[in-house]
Amino acid sequence: MKYNKFVSFILLSVIIFSLSSCSSLDKKNQLDKNENENNIITEVAGEKITVSELKFIFGHIRSILEEDANLLGADKEQIKEYWESDVEGKRREDVVKRESLEDLIEMKILVSKAKEENIQLDELDNGEIDQLLEQYIEANGGEDLAKIKLQNNFGMSLEDYRKINEELVLSAKYKKEAVKKIEIDIEDIKKYYDDNIDEVEMVTIKYILILTETYLDEEPMTEDEIAEKRKLAEDVLDMAENGEDFDALSEEYNEDPESRLYGNKLTFSRENAREDLKEWAFSADVGELTMLEVPAGFMVLKLSEKHGFEFASEGIKKFLQQLEFEENLAEWKKQDFEINEELLDSLNMLE
């Protein structure tokens, strides 16, 4: 009986210990669950978006915007003023926060689509991500310091950092493949060409510039000097009309310093051409020559090529594919999902 009571006591102790352990474990799991739920801004297409992911994307956009605003090395007050400034009636920080969330929503949708179609990262993709991770670790003074920085800046681990980069690469890979698969009818390409001919029809000219413009620290040319320049341009035009090689003449007489770096060709559409240049270039025949007076001097011109539908069709096709993909993405984004607005509004992205 004594023994039985002792056994019973041990059994009871084990049961109580087990219950208390389960209770503690349940509490821990519940705390972890609550903590995770408090970290989730939304779930779209079965993919969760966390606070740390939002901070990560915001951080990248922030770096670009601050560099564009010449804020690298600026003091805290200047940076604070920039992010508190008004953008269409809203604080810049709030606007960029929402844009970052939109980017994440799109990324998660594309990741989900990639999984549905069994599109996966290949060895090359994973190699690039490994290299990116190594560069991050090296740039931050080693793995331990990189972990601290990730945790302090974004609340991320190295595993989280790798995961979001995997998703960025996978979403881009899906998009690239999905865009290429979109069929565009040739009639739609022709219609776009006809409707936007000023934008897509192009010509290429060759030019020789005889300068009359002087630098700010130089005296302007006299009328006699300008007349001499005009005569030189007319002589160059005459030589070209008499069959001399235009490129050889350009090598000898072209006074445009940029032609030494980029060549003596210009390709443009009606939409982005100077009015006086456009009038001649789009009415002339290939091989035709002329001389044109411009603010910088005199240009001897040769119409080198005309680029019509065949030249533009592939670019138009890619544009229409991209347009249709963006329309599809807009439809996918209409799916029902809830954003934790309270959590989103509470986030200080500049901490």
pTM, two decimal places: 0.74
The tally of CA atoms less than 13 A away on the side-chain side of residue 292 is 22
Tell me how far apart the alpha carbons of residues 259 and 287 are, in angstroms, rounded to a whole number: 20
What are the distances in angstroms from CA 286 to CA 30, 279, 289, 294, 298? Answer: 77, 14, 9, 22, 21
Q: Which CATH class is domain 39-181?
A: mainly alpha
- The single residue listed with the structure tokens 């970052």 is 100
| Per-residue pLDDT of the chain in tens (351 residues, 90 and over written 9) | 332 332 332 222 332 233 333 333 343 344 344 445 578 999 999 999 999 999 999 999 999 999 999 998 899 999 999 999 999 899 999 999 999 999 999 999 999 999 999 999 999 999 999 999 999 999 999 999 999 999 999 999 999 999 999 999 999 999 999 999 999 999 999 999 999 999 999 999 999 999 999 888 788 999 999 999 999 999 999 999 999 999 999 999 999 988 988 999 999 999 988 888 888 999 999 999 999 999 999 999 999 999 999 999 999 999 999 999 999 999 999 988 899 999 999 999 987
> Kind and range of the H or E element at 40?
strand 40-44
- Tokens (6 digits) for 342: 């309270």
Name which of 255, 272, 273, 277 is nearest 264 in CA terms. 255
Tell me how far apart the alpha carbons of residues 26 and 13 are, in angstroms, rounded to a whole number: 19
What is the reported pLDDT for 23?
A: 38
Dihedral (Cα; 138, 140, 141, 143), 10-degree rounding: -70
Tell me how far apart the alpha carbons of residues 8 and 12 are, in angstroms, rounded to a whole number: 6
Contact 251, 260 (CB under 8 A): no
What is the reported pLDDT for 37?
A: 56
The tally of CA atoms less than 13 A away on the side-chain side of residue 11 is 6
What is the reported pLDDT for 53?
A: 96
Beta bridge partners of 204: 267, 305
Beta bridge partners of 265: 206
Name which of 279, 268, 251, 258 is nearest 306 in CA terms. 268
Q: Which fold, 202-307?
A: Chitinase A; domain 3 (3.10.50)
Beta bridge partners of 49: 42
291: Cβ contacts below 8 Å, ≥ 6 apart = 233, 234, 237, 298, 299, 300, 301
Tell me how far apart the alpha carbons of residues 202 and 268 are, in angstroms, rounded to a whole number: 5
What are the distances in angstroms from CA 284 to CA 205, 270, 289, 301? Answer: 11, 13, 8, 11
Name which of 46, 115, 95, 37 is nearest 335 in CA terms. 46
Longest dimension (CA), the chain: 131
**Amino acid letter at 296?**
A
Per domain, the residue ranges of the chain are 39-181, 202-307
